[in-house]
């Protein structure tokens, strides 16, 4: 341990992790680490370089040539800002595929731990409390019903100008949930020492309040 606080926030897609983690980091003055964006950036780079996301060796070669950087809430791949390019349904699917590949997880876990040594952080993902930072100061598993998550995702995509059907979004969420929680390495699951918050019927402020109470109690 290095004396820095690590707040691990895990949970399925659409549970509100990004909104909550960003705001929590802002209020606490901590660094915000969006590890989903890192998997998305690798998926984008694979797509961009014609690398098959099922090819472990090719992905290793790709990772060795990648330079991932955060600039505020933007993510750069070898100097190119890909922040908006990684938020598409295609990258949703490809990032889920690359996240099942051991060499990609090993590569990103190393970078994430390195970032965790640089200061207090709020780290958001699927395996923050279970694998990357098992020593985290606080662990939160943020979840919501698939239906509520589909409604939120649909709104988000529509805000980006994408027209989508609720049923399709729900089906995709269910497929991705299954893939993320049944994969053999670092599956999505709640750490034994986490608190579970179901955000289905809570506002952002209510979730932040619950987290605030938890952090104060344990600190």
Residues that bind ligand DC (CB under 6 A): 13, 35-36, 39-40, 95-96, 99, 125-127, 176, 180
Q: Which is nearer to ligand DC, 3 or 110 (CB)?
A: 110
Q: How far is the CB of 85 from ligand DC (least distance, A)?
A: 13
172 closest CA partner among 70, 88, 79, 116: 88
| C-beta of residue 31 within 8 angstroms of C-beta of residue 115 | yes
Please give the angle made by the CA atoms of 96, 98 and 101, to the nearest 5 degrees.
120
CB-nearer residue toward ligand DC: 28 or 179: 179
Spatial contact of 17 and 138, defined as CB atoms under 8 Å apart:
no
Smallest distance from the beta carbon of 49 to ligand DC, in angstroms?
Answer: 19
* Pick from 113, 78, 75, 73: nearest CA to 95: 75
Instruction: Closer to ligand DC by CB, 39 or 141: give it.
Output: 39
d(C-alpha 132, C-alpha 109), whole Å: 6
Q: Which is nearer to ligand DC, 114 or 219 (CB)?
A: 114
- Report in angstroms how near the CB of residue 116 gets to ligand DC at its nearest: 12
Closest approach, Cβ 96 to ligand DC, in A, equals 3
User: Which CB, 95 or 199, lies closer to ligand DC?
Assistant: 95
Q: Which is nearer to ligand DC, 8 or 217 (CB)?
A: 8
The tokens describing 3, both together, are 């004396």
* Cα 92 to Cα 54, 124, 170, 182, distances in angstroms: 15, 16, 13, 17
Would you state the structure tokens that stand for residue 219, as one six-digit string? 């600190």
Minimal distance, residue 216 CB to ligand DC, in Å: 26
Beta bridge partners of 32: 122
In this structure, the chain runs to a length of: 219
CB of 217 to ligand DC, least distance (A): 26
d(CA 180, CA 184): 9
């Amino acid at each position: 341990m290095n004396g820095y606080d690590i707040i691990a926030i895990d949970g399925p897609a659409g549970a509100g992790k990004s909104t909550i983690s960003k705001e929590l980091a802002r209020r606490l003055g901590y660094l915000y680490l969006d590890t989903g964006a890192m998997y998305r950036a690798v998926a984008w780079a694979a797509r961009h370089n014609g690398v098959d996301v099922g090819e472990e060796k090719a992905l290793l070669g790709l990772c060795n040539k990648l330079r991932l950087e955060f600039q505020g809430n933007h993510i750069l791949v070898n100097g190119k800002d890909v922040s908006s390019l990684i938020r598409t349904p295609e990258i949703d699917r490809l990032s889920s595929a690359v996240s099942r590949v051991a060499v990609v997880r090993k590569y990103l876990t190393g970078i994430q731990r390195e970032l965790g040594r640089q200061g207090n952080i709020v780290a958001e993902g699927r395996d923050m409390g279970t694998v990357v930072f098992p020593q985290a100061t606080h662990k939160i598993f943020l979840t919501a019903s698939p239906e509520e998550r589909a409604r939120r995702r649909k709104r988000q995509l529509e805000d980006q100008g994408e027209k989508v059907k609720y049923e399709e979004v729900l089906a995709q969420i269910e497929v991705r949930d299954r893939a993320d929680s049944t994969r053999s390495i670092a599956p999505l699951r709640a750490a034994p020492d986490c608190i579970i918050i179901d955000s289905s019927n809570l506002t952002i402020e209510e979730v932040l309040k619950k987290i605030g109470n938890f952090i104060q109690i344990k600190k």
